[in-house]
Amino acid sequence: MKPSKVSRRAVLKVLVATAPGTVASMALPGCSSDEDRAETARDFFTDPERRALGALANIIVPSEPGAPGAAELGATAYIERLLTAFDVDPPALFADGPFSGRQPLPDGKGGGDALPPNDFLRFRPLDRVTEKAWRIRLYGSKAVDGGTLNEGLVAPVVGLRNLFKEGLRAAVAEAKAPIETLSPEGLHDVFAGLDSELQKAFVELVPQAVWGAPEYGGNPGGAGWKLVHFEGDSQPLGYSLFDEGAGVYHERPEFPMSTKDPAPDPAPLDDGTRAVMAQVVVFTNGKVFP
C-alpha cells in the first residue's frame, strides 16, 4: 500500500512506468465511512469473513495439487496481522533485525553452521511521523487526529481496516453460499464485485504474505519461497563466504553467485510465460531476439 522509491534495482523503473495509477493513487477519489477501531486481532474478522478472505486471496495465488495457494500460504493471517498491527506495542509493522536465524553465521573459514537468534520475532518502535502515517493507512485519514492534511486537495484515505472489513462483510452477506464453496467462476464474480481499491489491496498484499518473511504471518516455514525456488533471506551466511586465513572467497556449491547453478532448471519458461514476455515486448517496443 506504500509504493517505495528506495530501491534502485532497475526493474522498478519498469513497474512505475507501466502502472502510473499506482503512484498516483493518492490523488484518486475515494470514499469515507465510519471507522471501526474496537475490534482486535482475535476477532477482527468473523470466521465466515476469514474464510472468504482466504478464498479470494486464492484468486491471486491459486491452490493446485501439490502447489499451495495463498490461503494455505498464510495470506489470511498476514492481512489480519497487518490490520491489527496497533493492537501490540511496538506495532507489528516492521520486523527487527539483523537476522532471522534461518541461515548460519559465517565461521571465517568459508562456511558456518551456528544459527543466530531470530531477531525478526520482535518489531521496531515507530517514530512520531511514521506512527501517524500508518494509523492513517490502517484506520483512514478521518479517524486519525490531524489525518486530513490537505482536505479538498487530496482525496481522503480509506483505511485498510475498513476497506477489508466492510468489503468482506458485504461480500459474505450478498453471496448465495459460503464464498469458499463457490466455483472458480463464482469466486471471480465476487472478486470483480469488490470495491476497486479492495481488489488492488488484494493484488498488493497477497504476494507480500506469500513471499515475505514468515514472521509477518504468511509464508509458513518458507513454503512460499520453496514454491518459487527462492532462497529467501540469506544473511548472515550469504552467498560469498570469506576465508579469513586464505583471504579469498568461497561460494556455496548449491547456490553459487559467480557461476551457473549446478542443478537443472526447476521450472523452465513455458509457452504462457513466453506469451506474457512477448506482450511486454510489444507494449514497450522491445524485441524478441532470434
Partner 1 sequence: MSGNKTVLGNASLAAFDVIVIGSGAGGAPVVDVLTRFGKKVLVLEAGANHFDGLDDPRGLVSRFSNDEVKQYSRGLISPDSYVEPRTFRPNEGAGDRTFVGDVNSLAKTVGGAGVHADLKMPRFAPKDFQLGTLLGDTFAGASFADWPVAYDMLEPFYAYVEQTLGIQGQRGSDPYAGPMKADYPMAPGNKMYVASRIEDGANKLGINVFPYPSAVNSRPYQGRPACVDCGFCSGYGCPSNAKGSPAVTMLRRALLSQLCQLQCETRVVKLLANGAGTRIDGVECIGPDGKRVTFRADQYVLAASPIEDARLLLLSGNLGNASGMVGRCLTFHLQTVAVGIFEDRLHSHRGKAVSHGFSDFRGVPMDPTKPLGGIVEISGGPGAVEEATFYARILTTLGQQFDGVRFKRLMQQSPGRERIVALVMQAEDAPQLTNRVDLDPAVKDLDGLPVPRITYSSHKFELGARDFYAPKLMSLLQASGAKYGFVAPIDEISASAHVMGTLRSGSDPRTSVTNPEGRFHGLENLYASDGSLFPTSSGYNPTHTLVSLATRVAGDMVFPGSPERVLA
Site for partner 1 in 223-252 (CB under 8 A): 224-225, 227-230, 232-242, 244, 247, 249, 251
59 touches partner 1 (CB under 8 A) = yes
Binding to partner 1, residues 249-268 (CB under 8 A): 249, 251, 255-261, 265-268
- What is the CA 59 to chain-centroid distance, rounded? 15
62 touches partner 1 (CB under 8 A) = yes
Near partner 1 by CB under 8 A: residue from 130, 169, 170, 223: 130
Near partner 1 by CB under 8 A: residue from 141, 143, 162, 167: 141
Near partner 1 by CB under 8 A: residue from 47, 113, 127, 254: 127
Considering only 40-48, 160-168, 174-182, 207-215, which stretch makes contact with partner 1 by CB under 8 A? 207-215
Q: Compare residues 12 and 46 and give the one whose CB is closer to partner 1.
A: 12
The dihedral region occupied by 288, where left means phi > 0, alpha psi between -120 and 50, and beta the remainder, is beta
Q: Which residues lie below 8 Å from residue 13, measured CB to CB, with a gap of 6+?
A: none
Nearest to 187, CA basis, from 55, 67, 73: 55
- 205 touches 1 (CB < 8 A): yes
Instruction: Give the long-range contacts of residues 2-7, CB within 8 A, separation 24 or more.
Output: 2/137
Q: Compare residues 47 and 271 and give the one whose CB is closer to partner 1.
A: 271
CA distance 70 to 229: 16
Considering only 34-42, 43-51, 167-175, 219-227, which stretch makes contact with partner 1 by CB under 8 A? 219-227
CB of 138 to partner 1, least distance (A): 11
Q: How many residues does the chain have?
A: 290
- For residues 195-229, b (16+ Cβ closer than 10 Å) or e, as one string? bebbbbbbeebbbbbbbbbbbbbbbeebebbebee
**x-or-dash string of contact with partner 1, 143-182, rule CB under 8 A:** ---x--xx--xx--x-------------------------
Number of residues that bind partner 1 (CB under 8 A): 126
CB of 52 to partner 1, least distance (A): 16
Cell match 496497533: residue? 86
Nearest to 206, CA basis, from 69, 2, 96: 69
**x-or-dash string of contact with partner 1, 8-37, rule CB under 8 A:** xxxxxxxxxxxx--xxxxxx----------
Cell match 486530513: residue? 148
Near partner 1 by CB under 8 A: residue from 125, 178, 220, 221: 125
Backbone CA torsion sign across 221, 70, 12, 265: positive
Near partner 1 by CB under 8 A: residue from 31, 34, 98, 109: 98
β-partners of residue 64 are 67
CB of 46 to partner 1, least distance (A): 25
Q: How big is the CA angle at 277 (ends 275 and 278), to the nearest 5 degrees?
A: 60
Q: Compare residues 45 and 86 and give the one whose CB is closer to partner 1.
A: 86
Q: Compare residues 166 and 231 and give the one whose CB is closer to partner 1.
A: 231
222 touches partner 1 (CB under 8 A) = no
